Structure 1
């Protein structure tokens, strides 16, 4: 239960930071917390590319891929990498361009399993096709 509260608190803190920063992601742009462009690290790109493939493969959202921003937020004790998937609002994607709500996350653990909260009713990470 503590882990769930920790994840919720972390998600709320990240959302608050993103809302206070001006984040202007473009489709496929790799960003980190605070809306700054992440360094082009091969490993980060790999996890973001995997997340994009999984979003398509498992139809994790009805939002077109062109209207999604993928944000590598790093790893933690449970996961090697966590990629947040956010709505992107611009001329082609409806919505307030000053807001980029997090839809869900895709996480990769040390045993090469994939987790997501995309279909979770409680917002908890669940195995994805493992």
Structure 2
């Protein structure tokens, strides 16, 4: 039963990633990284939360921007306002590639790829 469930999860994750277009241009600053992350979250359906209930924390690394995606807890979104649980992270590479650990079982980052036409 576990093998079947794991297979279904992996097939579902592959389908989600196959439907996502990557950004088309290089990313040179944190604001652009945030915009790419917001687009990837919506277009790739990485979160079921409304955009107002997701917070992005952008950090610079030498070759990419690391974006931690966390739940926003407030009166509108609910939850304990003293917490912001991490949902997943995105690597927004300076050359425009986007990787995510959203569907990873072991925390590794997987590329978001363009759907085949």
Equivalent in 73, 77, 82 of residue 98 of structure 1 = 82
Equivalent in 77, 99, 102 of residue 115 of structure 1 = 99
Partners of 1:111 and 1:52 in 2: CA distance: 17
- 1:43 aligned onto 2:38: no
Return the offset for 1:110. Answer: 4.5
TM-score, normalisation: structure 1? 0.62
**SS where residue 73 of structure 1 aligns?**
strand
**Residue ranges of structure 1 left out of the alignment (5+ in a row):** 1-41
Equivalent in 46, 49, 57 of residue 60 of structure 1 = 46
**Residue ranges of structure 2 left out of the alignment (5+ in a row):** 1-27
Point out which structure has higher relative CO (alpha carbons under 8 A, 6+ apart). 2
TM-score, normalisation: structure 2? 0.68
Which of the pair has more CA radius of gyration? 2
Provide runs of 4+ in structure 1 moved above 3 Å: none
Partners of 1:98 and 1:120 in 2: CA distance: 27
**SS where residue 29 of structure 2 aligns?**
helix
1:2-41 alignment, distance < 5 Å? none
Partners of 2:95 and 2:72 in 1: CA distance: 31
Return the offset for 1:121. Answer: 1.5
